[in-house]
Amino acid sequence: MEDKKVVLSARDIEVKFQVRSRVLTAIRNISLDIYDGETVAIVGESGSGKSVFTKTFTGMLETNGTISNGSVMFEGQDLTKLKTDKDWEGIRGAKISTVFQDPMTSLNPVRTIGYQIAEVIMKHQGKSAQEAKEMAIKLMEEVGIPNAASRYDEYPFQYSGGMRQRIVIAIALACRPKILICDEPTTALDVTIQAQILEFIKSLLKEYGFTTVYITHDLCVVANVADKVAVMYAGQIVEYGTVEEVFYEPKHPYTWALLSSLPQLGTKGEDLYAITGTPPSLYDQIIGDAFAPRNPYAMQIDFEEEPPFFQITPTHKAKTWLLDPRAPKVEPPKAIQNLHERLSAMVSKGGGYHG
Amino acid sequence: MKQYILGRVVRSIISIFAVVSIACALIYGLIPHEKIFNNDPTWKKIASDPVASITYKYQKWEDLGYVDFQNAGDICKLAGDDVDYNKCVRGTTDAFELVKAEWEAKGYTVMYKDDGTAYVKQGIDFYEEQPSLCKLTETGANYDECVKTRNSDLEKAVSSYIEDGYVLNYYNTGTLYAVRENTVPEIIFGYISNLVKIDTPWTVNDASNPNLERKIYPGLDHNNIPALKCSGCESQYLLYLDGKFPFIHQNIIKLNFGISYPTYSGLGTMDVIGQGQGDPVKNEVHYDTGLTAKSAVNLHSCKYKSSSTMSSDDAKKFATNYADCDTNKKDPSMIGTSYLFGILGIIVSYGIGLPAGILMAQKKDKWQDKLGIVYINVMIATPSLAFIFFMKMLGNKIGLPDKFPSLGFGSIKSYILPVIILGLLSTAGLMIWMRRYMVDQANSDYVKFARAKGLSQKEIFNRHILKNAIIPIVNGIPASIVLCISGAVITESVFAIPGMGKMLPDAINAANNNMIITLTFIFTSLSVISLLLGDLLMTLVDPRIQLSSKGDSR
Ligand SMILES: Nc1ncnc2c1ncn2[C@@H]1O[C@H](COP(=O)(O)OP(=O)(O)O)[C@@H](O)[C@H]1O
Ligand SMILES: [Mg+2]
């Protein structure tokens, strides 16, 4: 994997929002390399900054937000330097596409499906209306819309939720992007359709070979689709590694907490592990480890100094003082030991998204 | 779709009639019938004359459909051959006539009470009623006959009226009249069943012209333009063309809302609000007798005039009996006036309100938006009367007239102030809604996705936000256009514009009941129609809306 090419490299990203007269720091010094063809999952509780972080790749921060530090290198240029719609032309929606949470509302209700696909083809590939229509119909066929040609002029309300999500994905892939960001793309769909859509993205992945950034809080999805996992907490990545490493040898106590709160893992009679307390306020300056107040294993130093990343394997690193050689040896909670067997047992029971 | 519209239309018609019936019930049931005379100058003059005032009162009430009124003449004429008309009209018995003559010979005046019994009164001391008069006579008249108030002929004539519930009353001259009050449901039924009048060749009923031809035929009008003409109809022209909107006109089906009274007395209520106003306009006119004259006559409007009332002057001009014509007036009708101002006002308000609202949304939280919000707040907080007078003052400073009639319809200057005021008054609302719809759309998920697709802000705005935001506005446009007929009460009265605005309050003040009902009917119909039009328009701009009576979506 090391010989793979880095397609996007975020360095020391810091994002601040102006909220009335106060400043909120949503992202605090994140660095992340995304390799070509990989699927990276970003997990973490809601509000941890997953969406904001990926919005910096497409310049989609709301107007009150700024990237106050860092760089995002993509094809030799620093995306943080791009400001106007014109600067972004050819990148946003063309080379880096995003699919959002709710397929029911991602399409304009009063424009035809065809119009909304053709629009993006004409915009980025400079095709004529007729060519764009042909390409759009082909794309609709590729994403599995039956009678694509006759449904070209239909409106979103005439499509089912699953079909709409396929259309949204078709639009996102219309220009064969390098990177597809899926921001919780299935949460609004019911479970069976979610599974179909995931399978669908997976199959497209093989065919198109794009790189995927997958934002979700559903760890089963992660186990199913991702190569790498980044765990986010309070605007930082706290653990990063391959799926196997993060799931079966998690090192950060927050990852432990996340994993053990999986409802699917609850064995009968055992209480579900719930993370206590609330995340820190992003308005305040955070001293030490942001997770310390909620961390049952916190040490004195966690409240005083921010931990560095400790490299565990070449692909696995975590940001916790527990990995310091001086720290006492701590076992992960019982609930997530032998997660391997339990997770695979669960998946093979047919409950998950097994292909 | 067709079925849905049909259903809507049927329901609309039902609801219009329901509203009109309720209005009728309120007006006829709750307003005392005497009240309509309060504003009638004729009534003031004749109120002290006992005979004339009674006749006038009941005839007016009959015209308005409140009562059935029959005088002795009518009753006796219709009674049939076995009734002696003269005796019947006289009403009194022969025996009493003898007695009456005797008393009159003695210098007394015989008077009658309203139950028809006679009395004689002289000074303060002398007062005798009919029984004593008959007793004290020396003529030998039969007493039993003499005390009767009706002779046998009259008795025969009125018997059917008594059966039908008429109340018999007498003038102080002893002449009988019969009155039957219509109940409220009867009044409403009568009103509604007369609402639609269809003109046919058998409409005219003129005893003085038994040879009247009855036919509908294509012909030419006085300008040699083809028209559909009629003989025997009330109107001479059933269909005709002229240069006035909507260019083709018909006289076949007319809505008849009754006559206006006491204001604009005698005219049909529709004519009051629909006919031209101001001075007559004279033009060269070619009558069908070949006569050419300068006249304001509107030859397309001519109606049948009975042979007995045709004057020799009429005969010089008209070859047929269609000689009862309207005059062409200089100024538009009340409806036309209000409509003119309303449409101009709408152009101003949409022309300013929509772009301003759009700009505010585009520049949300920038100075343009803030300025707009200040404007909206000021407009909402200021009472409209204060705003109108303020604008009027400003207008006066730059030489615009402060009353419409001072320069009249002919001068552009007369329109500027009222139109700007009418327009500005509704900009605030439009701006608020337009801005709100735009901002709502701009925050929606599909706009976020459109941005992720790489569309520029401008493309998103033009292709997506604008269309979606305008949809709810479109729904209200027919209503604004159609309902401006009702006139702007305050603005019209401040500028003394001869429009519809003052009609409803005036009609209520004057107890012009038919006018109130007419206006109720018109305003209700227009509201219902404009709602329907608004919804139909929505189906054109919003694919999600499909008009259907059931769930079938295509
Ligand atoms: N436009 C904004 N203005 C102010 N705060 C914002 C804005 N967008 C996001 N945030 C804040 O940034 C943090 C991260 O948000 P987000 O990335 O959406 O979380 P999630 O991990 O659920 O996707 C949250 O605390 C959120 O309140
Ligand atoms: Mg999010």
Residues of chain B with Cβ-Cβ distance to A136 below 8 Å are none
pLDDT per position as a tens digit, B21-35? 898 889 888 888 888
pLDDT in the model for residue B408: 86
Distance A51 CA to ligand 2 centre (A): 4
Residues of chain B with Cβ-Cβ distance to A86 below 8 Å are 456
pLDDT per position as a tens digit, B460-481? 999 999 989 999 999 889 888 8
Among B521, B522, B525, B514, residue whose Cα is nearest residue B31 = B514
Which of A23, A51, A56, A217 most suits a substitution to test ligand 1, by most atoms within 8 Å of the C-beta? A51
Q: What is the mean pLDDT of chain B?
A: 89
Q: What's the gap in Å between the CA of A98 and the closest CA on chain B?
A: 6
Whether this model's ipTM surpasses 0.95 comes out as: no
Region of poorest pLDDT, from A9-18, A262-271, A314-323, B420-429: A262-271
Assign B428 a pLDDT band (cuts: 50, 70, 90). very high
Assign B420 a pLDDT band (cuts: 50, 70, 90). very high
Distance B154 CA to ligand 2 centre (A): 98
Residues of chain A with Cβ-Cβ distance to B537 below 8 Å are none
Q: Which among B437, B444, B446, B542 is the top mutation candidate for probing chain A, defined by the most A β-carbons within 10 Å of its own β-carbon?
A: B446
Atom number in ligand 1 closest to CA A52: 17
Q: Is the CB of A19 under 6 A from ligand 1?
A: yes
| Ligand with minimal distance to A48 CA | 1
The reply to whether A85 touches chain B by the CB within 8 Å rule is yes
pLDDT per position as a tens digit, B316-331? 888 888 999 988 888 8
Q: Is the CB of A65 under 6 A from ligand 1?
A: yes
Assign A266 a pLDDT band (cuts: 50, 70, 90). low
Q: Is residue B452 scored above 70 in pLDDT?
A: yes
Residues facing B112 on adjacent strands: B118
Q: Is residue B551 scored above 50 in pLDDT?
A: no
Give nearest CA residue, ligand 1 atom 20. Answer: A47
pLDDT per position as a tens digit, B430-448? 999 999 999 999 999 999 9
Region of poorest pLDDT, from A260-274, B280-294, B330-344, B390-404: A260-274
Residues of chain A with Cβ-Cβ distance to B440 below 8 Å are none
Residues of chain B with Cβ-Cβ distance to A178 below 8 Å are none
The average pLDDT across B526-530 equals 90
Among A60, A74, A4, A69, residue whose Cα is nearest residue A30 = A69
pLDDT in the model for residue A343: 66
Residue B407 tokens read as 């320069």
Distance B398 CA to ligand 2 centre (A): 60
Give nearest CA residue, ligand 1 atom 1. Answer: A62
How far apart CA B326 and CA B303 sit, in angstroms, is: 9
Q: Is residue A65 scored above 90 in pLDDT?
A: yes
Atom number in ligand 1 closest to CA A61: 1
Q: List all residues 6 or more positions away from A96 whose beta carbon is below 8 Å from its beta carbon.
A: A57, A58, A74, A177, A178, A179, A181
Distance B164 CA to ligand 2 centre (A): 84
The average pLDDT across A154-162 equals 90
Nearest Cβ partner of A106 from B446, B541, B544? B446
Q: Which among B362, B447, B453, B473 is the top mutation candidate for probing chain A, defined by the most A β-carbons within 10 Å of its own β-carbon?
A: B453
**Cβ atoms within 10 A of the Cβ of B180, count?**
16
The reply to whether A213 touches chain B by the CB within 8 Å rule is no
Q: Do B455 and A123 touch (CB under 8 A)?
A: yes
Q: Is the CB of A282 under 6 A from ligand 1?
A: yes
- Rounded to two decimals, what is the model's pTM? 0.79
Asked whether the beta carbons of A182 and A213 are under 8 A apart, the reply is yes
Q: How far is the first Cα of chain B from the last one, in angstroms, to the nearest whole number?
A: 9
- The two beta strands, B167-170 and B176-181, are antiparallel
Asked whether the beta carbons of B268 and B256 are under 8 A apart, the reply is yes
Distance A22 CA to ligand 1 centre (A): 14
Helix orientation angle between B367-381 and B427-442, rounded to the nearest 10 degrees: 140
Q: Is the CB of A24 under 6 A from ligand 1?
A: yes
C-alpha distances in Å from residue A45, one per residue of A10, A202, A253: 21, 24, 14
Nearest Cβ partner of A85 from B449, B457, B468? B457
Q: What's the gap in Å between the CA of B375 and the closest CA on chain A?
A: 24
> Residue B59: helix, strand or coil by DSSP?
helix
Residues of chain A with Cβ-Cβ distance to B468 below 8 Å are 108-110
Q: What's the gap in Å between the CA of B467 and the closest CA on chain A?
A: 8
pLDDT in the model for residue B187: 86
Task: Using CA coordinates, name the residue in chain A closest to B443.
Answer: A62
Helix orientation angle between B413-425 and B334-362, rounded to the nearest 10 degrees: 50
Q: Do A110 and B458 touch (CB under 8 A)?
A: no
Q: What are phi and psi of B213, to 5 degrees?
A: -75, 150
Among A279, A242, A238, A269, residue whose Cα is nearest residue A256 = A238
Distance A63 CA to ligand 1 centre (A): 13
Q: Is the CB of A56 under 6 A from ligand 1?
A: no
pLDDT per position as a tens digit, A74-84? 999 999 999 99
Nearest Cβ partner of B468 from A92, A110, A168? A110
pLDDT per position as a tens digit, B259-277? 898 888 888 898 898 888 8
The average pLDDT across A254-268 equals 74
Distance A61 CA to ligand 1 centre (A): 10
Q: What is the largest CA-CA distance in chain B?
A: 120
Q: Do B464 and A111 touch (CB under 8 A)?
A: yes
The reply to whether A168 touches chain B by the CB within 8 Å rule is yes
Residues of chain A with Cβ-Cβ distance to B450 below 8 Å are 108
Q: Is residue A67 scored above 60 in pLDDT?
A: yes
Nearest Cβ partner of A88 from B450, B454, B543? B454
Q: Do B449 and A168 touch (CB under 8 A)?
A: yes
Assign A134 a pLDDT band (cuts: 50, 70, 90). very high
The reply to whether A176 touches chain B by the CB within 8 Å rule is no
Assign B485 a pLDDT band (cuts: 50, 70, 90). confident
Residue B67 tokens read as 């009562």
Q: What's the gap in Å between the CA of A302 and the closest CA on chain B?
A: 39
The reply to whether A110 touches chain B by the CB within 8 Å rule is yes
Distance A48 CA to ligand 1 centre (A): 8
Q: Residue B268 CA to chain centroid, in angstroms?
A: 6
Q: List all residues 6 or more positions away from A295 whose beta carbon is below 8 Å from its beta carbon.
A: A253, A254, A289, A302
Nearest Cβ partner of A94 from B444, B450, B454? B454
Q: Do A110 and B459 touch (CB under 8 A)?
A: no
∠ CA B346-B344-B525, rounded to 5°: 60
Q: Do A88 and B458 touch (CB under 8 A)?
A: no
Residues of chain B with Cβ-Cβ distance to A98 below 8 Å are 449, 452
Amino acid letter for position A257: A
Amino acid letter for position B222: H
Nearest Cβ partner of B452 from A60, A102, A109? A60
Q: Is the CB of A64 under 6 A from ligand 1?
A: yes
Q: Is the CB of A16 under 6 A from ligand 1?
A: no
Q: Residue A277 CA to chain centroid, in angstroms?
A: 24
Looking at per-residue confidence, does A349 or B329 come out higher? Answer: B329
Residues of chain B with Cβ-Cβ distance to A110 below 8 Å are 467-468, 471, 541-544
Nearest Cβ partner of B449 from A94, A106, A123? A106
Residue-level length of chain A: 355
